[in-house]
């Protein structure tokens, strides 16, 4: 089950891309687990789902609980994680919730990671929508990432930030198969200055998503991106990116 993670600076379209990727993979009859790793979760709404309980909520409870004798802690955590899992018709969704508080949650984080890894085995694809920045990668919700997409807007600063994120990811003790740059909200042809910057930063551009008025409209109305028509420009671009990078 390839694990696909989406990162990038704030507002670059991570959640939009993640949602459209889940939609694309679902149309391929693949089983998909969508993971909302942003504490300010909104992937559920974009996918037309509703998360009642995040893993963060469960973790708080776990720390307070006394475990019944004879029940392995990991079994109990796995059970609780299954409670947080929202099952959809064509994909499932789980939300990580807020990051840990001031105490040391290392042990429990490790167990959670193990359990998510185990849960992942049941799916053809795992798609993780991350919060802006890099901290999430060091917290690591899953052990390995097969494909890391770094989103950027069409600005030199955006590309430089994407490059910084890539370097940070390489500095962490994290296994990443392939890292690709995705340009979002592209209105015209990609300017030469941007192409130059991408080359200079040694980033691999996998595709560009056009600015799509329908995507904006759906966001405005709070409509699920899952309902976006198949001929939407943004959806077609995401499908093409997926075909070139993750689907065999
Ligand atoms: N290709 C596009 N065409 C039109 N609007 C877009 C496109 N991509 C994203 N948007 C809009 O830009 C805004 C930010 O997108 P999104 O929430 O996906 O970014 P994000 O990177 O997940 O943000 P955050 O860092 O807050 O999590 C949203 O209102 C979304 O509808
Ligand atoms: Mg987001």
Q: Tens place of pLDDT for every residue, the chain, 248 residues?
A: 789 999 999 999 999 999 999 999 999 889 999 999 888 879 999 999 999 988 877 766 666 666 666 667 777 777 778 888 999 999 999 988 875 555 555 666 666 677 778 788 899 999 999 888 766 666 655 567 899 999 999 999 999 999 999 998 887 777 899 999 999 999 989 999 999 999 999 999 999 999 999 999 999 999 999 999 999 999 999 999 999 999 66
CA 104/CA 87 separation, integer angstroms: 31
pLDDT at position 88 is 93
Using the atom order of ligand 1, give the atom closest to the CA of residue 234.
Answer: 1
CATH code: domain of residue 131: 3.40.50.300
Instruction: Report which ligand 1 atom has the smallest distance to the Cα of 10.
Output: 25
How many domains does the chain contain in total?
A: 1
pLDDT recorded at residue 245: 95
Residue whose C-alpha is closest to residue 133's, from 40, 49, 204: 40
- Please tell me the distance between residue 70's alpha carbon and the centre of ligand 2 in angstroms: 40
The DSSP string of 184-218 is: EEE-SSPPHHHHHHHHHTT--EEEEEEP-HHHHHH
User: Which residues does ligand 1 sit against, CB inside 6 Å?
Assistant: 8, 10-16, 38, 132, 184-185, 209, 211-212, 215-216, 219, 234
Beta pairing, strands 91-95 & 125-130: unpaired
pTM: 0.93
CA 195 from chain centre, in angstroms, equals 26
| Domain boundaries, position 154 | 3-245
Strand (E) or helix (H) holding 110: helix 106-120
Distance, CA 89 to ligand 2 centroid (Å)?
A: 23
């Amino acid at each position: 089950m390839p694990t696909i993670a989406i990162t990038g600076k704030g507002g670059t379209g991570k959640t939009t891309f993640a949602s459209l990727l889940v939609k694309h993979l679902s149309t391929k009859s693949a089983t998909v687990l969508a993971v909302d790793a942003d504490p300010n979760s909104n992937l559920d709404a974009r996918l037309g789902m509703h998360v009642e309980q995040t893993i963060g909520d469960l973790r708080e409870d776990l720390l307070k609980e006394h475990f019944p004798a004879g029940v392995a802690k990991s079994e109990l955590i796995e059970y609780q994680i299954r409670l947080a899992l929202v099952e959809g018709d064509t994909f499932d969704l789980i939300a990580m919730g807020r990051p840990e508080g001031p105490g040391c949650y290392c042990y429990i984080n490790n167990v959670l990671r193990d359990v998510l890894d185990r849960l992942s085995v049941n799916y053809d694809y795992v798609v993780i929508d991350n919060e802006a920045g890099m901290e999430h990668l060091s917290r690591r919700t899953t052990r390995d990432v097969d494909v890391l997409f770094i989103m950027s807007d069409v600005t030199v600063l955006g590309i430089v930030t994407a490059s910084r994120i890539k370097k940070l990811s390489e500095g962490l003790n994290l296994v990443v198969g392939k890292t690709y740059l995705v340009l979002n909200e592209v209105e015209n042809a990609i300017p030469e200055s941007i192409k130059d910057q991408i080359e200079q930063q040694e980033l691999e551009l996998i595709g560009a998503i056009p600015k799509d008025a329908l995507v904006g409209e759906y966001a405005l109305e709070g409509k699920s991106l899952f309902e976006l028509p198949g001929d939407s420009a943004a959806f077609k671009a995401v499908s093409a990116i997926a075909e070139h990078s993750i689907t065999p």
